[in-house]
Every structure is written in C-alpha cells, then in structure tokens.
Structure 1
Amino acid sequence: MIHPAHRLQDTKEYYFSRKLKEVRALAAEGHPIINMGIGSPDMPAPEAVVQALESGLKDAKAHQYQSYTGIPELRTAMARFYKKHYTVTLDPETEVLPLMGSKEGIMHISMAFLNPGDEVLIPNPGYPTYSAVTKLVEAVPVAYDLDATNSWLPDLDALAQQDLSRVKMMWVNYPHMPTGTKARDVFFEKLITFAKAHAILIINDNPYSFILNDHPKSILDIEGAKDVALELNSLSKTFNMAGWRVGMVAGNATYINHILKVKSNMDSGMFYGIQKGAIAALELESSWFDTINEVYAKRRQLIYNLVEKLGCTYDSNSVGLFVWAKLPEGVDAENFIDTVLQEKYIFITPGTIFGTQGEGYIRFSLCVTEEEIKKAIKRF
C-alpha cells in the first residue's frame, strides 16, 4: 500500500461532501428532504448568458485550448464590472485574472505566496477552505476570532499585539460568510494600514456583495490597497452560475503575475463558451440584481419566521445568501441539526463547521423556494 503525502494527515473530506452523503441516503429511503444547508443558487442563470454560451459553442475556437488568462473580451468585461459597480480601475491586461471559480483561486494564491512554515491569519468563523488549503501547502493556519460583540470584525489592535513575524497572509471575507456582516470603508482603511505595518498580504474573498446588499464594496477601492491586497470574486452567487465555475482575482499586476505562474501550470484555460456567457453576465444592467434580490428578500423573511419558531435570534442587518441564527443558550449546534435532519428531514448547517466561534449558531441558505420554506415551517 502506497501511503499518501504527509500534507493529507490533517486534511479531512469537506464537510458538505460527507454530510450530503447522509442527506442523499435519507432521500433514497423516500424521506422528503428539505435542504437548507447549501448555498447553491436554485434559480436559472440569466437568459442572455445562456444564449451567449450557446452562440459560443458554434465558434470555430470553442473546442481549442484557451488562454490561461482568458480571452481579452472577458478580462475587459471584468475590469468594466469593477469600474461600474465598485468604482475600482483595473488594467484588464495585467490586474485581473479569470479563474475557474474563486475556490480555485484560494489554492493558486496560497501556492503562489506561501512557503512551508509561513503563518496565515484565518477568520473564525470562516470558510473552511482557507484553513484546509493553508495546510495543504504546508503553511500554518492561525485563527483570529470574530464574535457578535465586535460585529464579526477582527480586532486589529489586539492582533497587532501578537507576534506576527511569521504571518505572510490574512484571509478576510466581507460581506462575511457565514454571518452576513458588512465591512465599511473605515474598517478596510484600518486593515490596509495594519497590513502595511506588518508586511501581510490581505485577500478579501468577495462573492456575496450583490446579494441583499444595497452598497457593494471592494477592498481595492481603498487608497493604497493594491500595495498589500488582492480580491477574489465570483459569478456563482451574483448570476446564479455556481456550476459554470467562473471567478476572478484582481489586484496589483506583480501579484497577479505570481498567481498566473501557478495557474498556467495547473490548467489550460476556461471553456470558450463559458467565457462568452460570463461576458454577457458581467454586462447585464443593475436591474438583474433587483430581480434576484426581490426573490431572496421574500425567502429571507420566511426563514426569519422559521428561525423565530425555533427559538433562535438573528441580525436583520446582515446581507448575503444566508441567515446566521443564534440557538437558545446551551443548545449544541451539531446535535441540534442532526436531530432536525433525522426527525424533520430538514438539513441545516451547524455553525461549528466554520470554526469554534460558530458554536451555538446555525446557518440557513436562501437557495430554497418559498414553498419549501413554508413546508419546513409546518413541520415544526
């Protein structure tokens, strides 16, 4: 038997990969499962996007290897999108790199900048992939705690008192997943100052800025941000294109070139038709966001009703694709969701999968129809 690499010793199968096997098994037994755990948009991609994909399939270039940096029209569309919605100017030739989903970018960025033993500041609670990828590249994840008392923002003054001499990168994610917290310019300004003082590369993972959020922000809009920050973005949630796998990383041309060195050795470029569809999405009018947010707002109100029925509390000022709810005092999150799954056949995500600071919380996805949410409410 050939043993796996040491880097896999602390790497577990992704939680949703494991848990969905249990959910599928219950469904196969005939149980009426309602899945409120996954943030996978259930509405279709815009019709103009689908038409652009279909048209792209007929192009003579469609079945050839594609450029590692994407076709020029896609990079230009991404730069225009940032200018229109975030007031951020990007050079489409050097400051934006298309990705096959932003999750790919987490690995590419980590491989481009981290050496074994480098430390990485990871939000707790936060997206589990940040920590998992850090370990895969043999760097060291260092959790920084977020909590409701500080509006789920890091205490940068407290962090500055720690030994940061080995810290090379810091992951932030605003609007925040799973809590839905927004970050204001004053926080981003302080974060950039902190990064420059300690020579830390900041990466803001920003896939939720248009979901139930009237004021989308980019960290790159802050003066001096390109010196020490990159931003990941995605079309998955914004345009109901999760399965299309289209994302981007934006920032300083030198940093982008480092990432390209990794990416160009790992894939052969995004499928041409998908690139054409992505261009169509990025060029849509802002009314598209109004359309999807009208649906999500109705769903969120119903989820609030369910949350209250369960005796939980929530922050009505949060944004994004989820509702982050606090369980009654003393209730264990994982035991709670297991009981609900086995007795009510409803899958909810426990806050603990996002870190120890998620204990006592559960997360509901808005990627569930109003009809299904009403069914869930009736089961209680």
Structure 2
Amino acid sequence: MIEVAKRLNTVEEYYFSKKLREVNLLIASGKPVINLGIGSPDLQPPQRVVEAIQNGLMDAGAHKYQGYQGLPELRQAITGFYKDHFNVPLSANTEVLPLMGSKEGIMHISMAYLNEGDGVLIPNPGYPTYQSVTKLVGAEPIFYELDQANNWMPNLEALEKQDLSRVKIMWVNYPHMPTGAQPTKTVFKDLVAFAKKHNILIVNDNPYSFILNDNPQSILSVPGAKDVCLELNSLSKTFNMAGWRVGMVVGDNKYITNILKVKSNMDSGMFYGIQKGAIEALKCSKMWFSTLNSVYKKRRDLVWKLAEALNCTYNENAIGLFVWAKLPEHIKAEEYIDLILKEHNIFITPGTIFGSQGEGYIRFSLCAQEDDLEEAIARVK
C-alpha cells in the first residue's frame, strides 16, 4: 500500500463533494429532493456568449495550446470591465491574469507566496477553500472571527493585538459569502492601511458583486491598494458560466508575475472558444444585470418565505446568491439540515461548513426555479 502525502492528512474531502453524493443517491432512489445547497447558477449565459464560443470553434488555431496569459482581447475586456464597473484602471499587459475559475487562483497565490509555517488570516465564517489550500501548502490558518453584531466585518483592532509577525496573506471576501454582508464605506480603506502597516498581502475574493447589488465595489479602488492587495473575480455567478471555469486575478505586476510562474507550470492555457465567450460576457451592458437580478429578486422573496416557515430570521439588506438565515436558539445546524432533508426532501447548507461562527445558521441558494421554491414552502408548511 502506497502511503499518501502527509499534506492529505491535514484536509478532508470538500463538503459538497461528499454531501452531493448522498443527495444524488436519494434522488436516484426516487426521492424528490429540492437542492437549495449549492450556488451553481441554473440560468443560461447571455446568448451572445454562447454564440461566441460556437463561432470560435471554427477559428484557425482554436484547438491549439493557448497562451498562459490568455488572449490579449480577453485581458483587454477584463480591464474594460474593471474600469466601467469599479472605476479601477488596470494594465491589460501587466496587471491581469485570466484563470480557470477563481478557485484556481487561491491555490496559485498560496503557492506563490506561502512557505511552511507562514501564517494566513482566514475569515470565520468563510469559504472553506481558504483553509484547505493553506493547509495543503503547509502554512498555518489563523482564523479571525466575524459576527452578526459587527455585520460580519473584520475587527482590525482585535487583530492588532495579536502577533502578526508570521502572517503573509489575509483572505477577505466582500460581498461576503456565506452571509451576504456588503462592505462598509471604510472597510476596504482600513484593510489597506492594516496591510501596509503589517506587510501583509490582502486578497479580496469578489465573485458576488453584481448579484442583487446596485453598488459593486473593488478593494483596488482604494488609493495605494495595489501595493498590498490582489483581487480575484469570476464570471461564474455574474454571467451564469460556472461550468466554463473563467476567472481572473488582478493587481500590481509584481504579484501577477509571481502567480504566473506557478500557473504556467500547472496548465497549458484556457480553451480558445471559452475565452471568446468570456470576452463577450464582459462586454454586456447593465441591462444584463437588471434582467438577471429581477429573477433572483423573485427567488429571494420566496426563500425568505421558506426561511420564515422554518422559524429562521435573516437580513433583508444582504446581497449575493444566497440567503444566510439564523436558526432558533439551541438548534444545531448540521442536525437540523439532515432532519429537513429526511422529512421534507430539501437540501440546505449548514452554516458550520464555513467555520465555527456558522453554528446556528443555515444557507439557502437562490439557484432553484420558482416552482421548486414554492414546492419547498408547501412541504414545510
């Protein structure tokens, strides 16, 4: 028996990888499971995007290896997108790196900057991949707690009291997943100052800015942010292209260059047709976001009704692709969602998979048809 690498002893299989096997077995056995667990958009991408990938299949060279930095037109489209929507100027040649999904970027950035024993500040609750990748590269997760009382913003005063001498990276994620908290007017400015003071690279993971939100923001809009910050973004949620695996990391050339050293040794470029589709997506007008959000607003209203039927409370000002709901007192999240799955054939995500601060909360996805949401409400009632 060949022993596995020691790094695998530090992580578990991704929660949804395991749980969806269970859900799929129930569905295969005939159970009418309504999946409100995972944020995989069920809507179609813009038609022009689909046409672009179809047309791209016939272009000369479409099926060859592509450049590690992506097509120049794609990088230009990303810079245009950031300028139009975030008022952030970027150089298409030096400050943009297309990725096969922003999740890939978490690993690339970590491999580029973390040594064994380095500290990494990780939000609790937060995206589980920050922790697992940190462990896989041999660094040490240092959790900073977020709570409802502070609208899920980092308490930088509390962090200042800790020994930060080993910390090299801080992961932040606004709009926040899983809670949907919007960044305050000052939080990005405060984070940039904090990073400069302690020589920490801050990475804002920003895939939810356009979902049910009229005020998309980027941490790179803060003066001087490029000195100490990177930003990850994705087309998965914004343009219903999750399976296409298109993301990006943007920031100062000195960071992008180092990340490219990792990336260029791990893939051979993004498929040409997908890049052509991504270019068209990034050119979409604001009408696209209005149409998309009109659908999600109707769904969110129904999810709020479902949450109320389960005696949960929620924040109507939260944004993004999910509804983060607080359970009644003394109810354990994982036990509760298993009960709902068993009794009502509804799969909901327990808040605990995002960290200990997620205990007492559950998360609903808006990636379900209105008929399914109405059926879920009827089952619970």
**TM-score tier after normalising by the smaller chain length:** over 0.9
- 1:58 aligns with 58
Letter of the 2:134 counterpart: T
- 1:341 aligns with 341
**Count of aligned pairs between the two proteins:** 380
| 1:10 Cα offset (Å) | 1.4
| 1:185 Cα offset (Å) | 3.4
Residues 116 and 137, structure 1, Cα contact 8 Å, conserved in 2 = yes
Aligned ranges for residues 88-99 of structure 1 at < 5 Å? 88-99=88-99
- 2:378 aligns with 378
Letter of the 1:67 counterpart: G
| 1:216 Cα offset (Å) | 0.1
- 2:230 aligns with 230
Unaligned runs of 5+ in 1: none
Deviation string 1:352-376 (CA, Å, 9 cap, x unpaired) is 0000000000000000111000000
- 1:151 aligns with 151
- 2:139 aligns with 139
Residues 117 and 140, structure 1, Cα contact 8 Å, conserved in 2 = yes
How many angstroms apart in 1 are the aligned matches of 2:190 and 2:377? 42
Is 1:76–2:76 an aligned residue pair?
A: yes
Q: TM-score, normalised by structure 2?
A: 0.99
| 1:162 Cα offset (Å) | 0.4
Is 1:322–2:322 an aligned residue pair?
A: yes
SS in 1 for 2:4: coil
Residues 174 and 183, structure 1, Cα contact 8 Å, conserved in 2 = yes
Aligned ranges for residues 117-266 of structure 1 at < 5 Å? 117-266=117-266
How many angstroms apart in 2 are the aligned matches of 1:156 and 1:11? 28
Deviation string 1:266-305 (CA, Å, 9 cap, x unpaired) is 0000000000000000001110000010000000000000
Unaligned runs of 5+ in 2: none
Residues 99 and 247, structure 1, Cα contact 8 Å, conserved in 2 = yes
Is 1:113–2:95 an aligned residue pair?
A: no
* Same amino acid, percent of matched pairs: 66
| 1:60 Cα offset (Å) | 1.1
Residues 208 and 237, structure 1, Cα contact 8 Å, conserved in 2 = yes
How many angstroms apart in 1 are the aligned matches of 2:343 and 2:308? 19
How many angstroms apart in 2 are the aligned matches of 1:311 and 1:346? 16
- 1:275 aligns with 275
How many angstroms apart in 2 are the aligned matches of 1:49 and 1:94? 26
| 1:124 Cα offset (Å) | 0.2
How many angstroms apart in 2 are the aligned matches of 1:96 and 1:170? 20
Deviation string 1:77-111 (CA, Å, 9 cap, x unpaired) is 00000000000000000001000000000000000
How many angstroms apart in 2 are the aligned matches of 1:277 and 1:146? 37
- 1:308 aligns with 308
Deviation string 1:191-213 (CA, Å, 9 cap, x unpaired) is 10000000000000000000000
SS in 2 for 1:45: coil
Is 1:285–2:285 an aligned residue pair?
A: yes
Deviation string 1:303-361 (CA, Å, 9 cap, x unpaired) is 00010111000000000000000000000000000001111110000000000000000
Letter of the 2:88 counterpart: V
Letter of the 2:22 counterpart: E
Give the root-mean-square deviation of aligned CA atoms. 0.4
How many angstroms apart in 1 are the aligned matches of 2:300 and 2:185? 26
| 1:184 Cα offset (Å) | 2.6
- 2:3 aligns with 3
Residues 185 and 222, structure 1, Cα contact 8 Å, conserved in 2 = no
How many angstroms apart in 2 are the aligned matches of 1:187 and 1:71? 34
Residues 236 and 246, structure 1, Cα contact 8 Å, conserved in 2 = yes
